[in-house]
């Protein structure tokens, strides 16, 4: 399974009056970690779109265990489940600096043709990049 850890510092504008991260920001944290994982694989969203494939959000699931606070550094762990077909599934765990699990989540993306916006199989070159990255991690 492909996995990446990304550090994110909680910014003031992501918090409520009590200094706690608003629940809606966790989806942004997921996207930031997923984008970084893809960069480490050797591809960006922009490059994917230029190659004719888009990954669009189909499902988001998020579970909150404890709050994150302003100025904390969070560790967002993202895993891409192996061998995607049309759907690509990413799982997330978010920890604070003390190692406390704050949140878990899952995002399912659908691979679509950038021109027709119709579902399509995940391209072979994407699968090859993810396999190469998994091999490097082992």
Residues belonging to the active site: 16
Half-sphere exposure of 59 (CA within 13 A, CB side): 9
Q: What angle do CA 15, 55, 117 make, to 5 degrees?
A: 125
CA distance 76 to 122: 25
Six token digits for residue 100 = 């406390």
CA distance 30 to 27: 5
Helix (H) or strand (E) holding 127: helix 124-137
> In sequence order, what are the residues at sequence separation of 6 or more whose Cβ sits closer than 8 angstroms to the Cβ of residue 15?
21, 22, 69, 70
């Amino acid at each position: 399974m492909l996995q990446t850890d990304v550090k994110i510092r909680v910014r003031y504008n992501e918090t409520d009056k009590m200094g706690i991260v608003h629940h809606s920001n966790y989806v942004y944290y997921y996207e930031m970690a997923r984008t970084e994982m893809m960069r480490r694989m050797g591809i960006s969203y922009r490059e994917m779109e230029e190659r004719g494939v888009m990954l669009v959000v189909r499902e988001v699931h998020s579970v909150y265990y404890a709050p994150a606070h302003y100025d904390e550094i969070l560790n967002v762990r993202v895993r891409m489940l192996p061998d995607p077909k049309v759907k690509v599934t990413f799982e997330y765990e978010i920890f604070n600096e003390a190692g406390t699990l704050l949140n878990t989540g899952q995002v399912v993306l659908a691979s679509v043709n950038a021109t027709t916006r119709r579902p399509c199989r995940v391209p072979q070159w994407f699968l090859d990049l993810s396999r190469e990255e998994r091999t490097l991690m082992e």
